[in-house]
Amino acid sequence: MSSPHLRDATAADLDALAAVAAEALSTLPLWTELIPDRGERRAVMAALYRGMFADALARGGRVRLAEDEHGVTAAALWSSPGNWRPSTLRGLQALPGMVRALGLRGTVRLMTVSGRGSAVAVKSHPSEPHWYLAVVATADRSRGRGLGTLLLEDGLAHVDARGMPAYLECEPHLEGWYRRFGFGVRQVLEIPEGIVDGAVLDHQLGMWRIPSHA
Ligand SMILES: CC(C)(COP(=O)(O)OP(=O)(O)OC[C@H]1O[C@@H](n2cnc3c(N)ncnc32)[C@H](O)[C@@H]1OP(=O)(O)O)[C@@H](O)C(=O)NCCC(=O)NCCS
């Protein structure tokens, strides 16, 4: 197997990026609870992530990918300072596909639950200028080969060169992994009434990193 290399993503990579993110993130308990069917879950998530990647490319974000002879195998999406807010337009564009996959009831449920999580994330998002790591994902077949590390180090070198801090939200179990790169816990994001129809919204961590030379 050839060793993967990193490069900037372009619009031609959007489907592959979305597929990798959907695959990597589709085992999060919230998503498995909300959309039990694996195929439906991946399709809905891919549509959402495709929109996020497209939006980042359109708004000066930094989308980097790792690829090997089989194609894209890991990706990171960094939103540029001031551009971290999720795009309402992209969300609306994903709606018809969501309704097709989940029906109206399922779509309303998904939006209610995920809306609570994102409301907390948006409200507590740091106001200081920073780069925001919105997504980092490695395809199942490539986990544990150092690609996530490569993408983090690559992104942080870019951020450090600009003397900027970085921020991310993550599942609590990833705290130790992000600490390796100099992130520290800045806040715990508690989701009020975090259970909807049996879907548990666990708390998340907001992690912050000052530039390494600061
Ligand atoms: C997190 C993720 C991107 C890491 O990607 P990866 O390419 O497997 O990462 P690497 O191979 O560079 O690093 C794996 C290392 O991190 C360690 N690691 C993995 N999860 C960890 C955790 N929860 N806490 C501490 N270390 C962890 C592994 O033990 C391994 O250690 P080693 O380098 O000593 O062998 C990948 O697991 C993934 O896509 N997860 C699902 C998506 C996700 O949760 N993304 C983050 C939120 S957006």
Per-residue pLDDT averaged across 156-178, rounded?
Answer: 96
Per-residue pLDDT averaged across 100-111, rounded?
Answer: 87
Task: Compute, in angstroms, the gap from residue 137 CA to the centroid of ligand 1.
Answer: 9
Per-residue pLDDT averaged across 142-161, rounded?
Answer: 97
Task: Compute, in angstroms, the gap from residue 147 CA to the centroid of ligand 1.
Answer: 9
168 bridge partner residues: 207
Domain count, the chain: 1
Q: What three-state secondary structure class fits 7?
A: strand
Tell me the best of 135, 174, 178, 180 to mutate to test the pocket of ligand 1, counting ligand atoms within 8 Å of each CB and taking the most.
174
Phi/psi class of residue 193: alpha, beta or left (left: φ > 0; alpha: ψ in -120 to 50)?
A: left
Contact 14, 54 (CB under 8 A): yes
In the block, tokens 């930094």 appear at 62
Q: Which domain holds residue 170?
A: 5-209
Model pLDDT for residues 41-60, shown as the tens digit of each residue: 999 999 999 999 999 999 99
Pocket residues for ligand 1 (CB within 6 Å)? Answer: 24-25, 74, 135-138, 143-149, 170, 173-174, 176-177
In a domain, 214, yes or no: no
Mean of pLDDT over the chain = 90
**pLDDT reported for residue 196:** 54
Nearest partner of 201 among 83, 31, 53, 24, judged by Cα:
31
CATH number of the domain bearing residue 24: 3.40.630.30
